[in-house]
Amino acid sequence: MDEFWVPERDVRLSDWTVFDRDRLEHQVLIPATQGNPIRYQVFDWHQGKLKDWREIEVVDYLIIEGISALHPTLLPYYRFKIWVDCSLEVAQQRGLRRGTTEYNIDETESWVERWTPNDRVYFQKYRPDLQANFLYPTF
For 21-62, write each residue's pLDDT tens digit.
Answer: 999 999 999 999 999 999 999 999 888 899 999 999 998 999
Q: State the fold for domain 2-137.
A: Rossmann fold (3.40.50)
Domain-wise residue ranges, the chain: 2-137
With beta carbons less than 8 A apart as the criterion, state whether 24 and 1 touch. Answer: yes
Element housing 121 (H / E): helix 116-126
Q: For the chain, give me the number of helices (H) and strands (E)?
A: 6, 4
User: For the packed helices 88-103 and 116-126, what is the interaxial angle rounded to 10 degrees?
Assistant: 140
Q: What is the pLDDT of residues 72-91, one digit of tens each?
A: 999 999 999 999 999 999 99
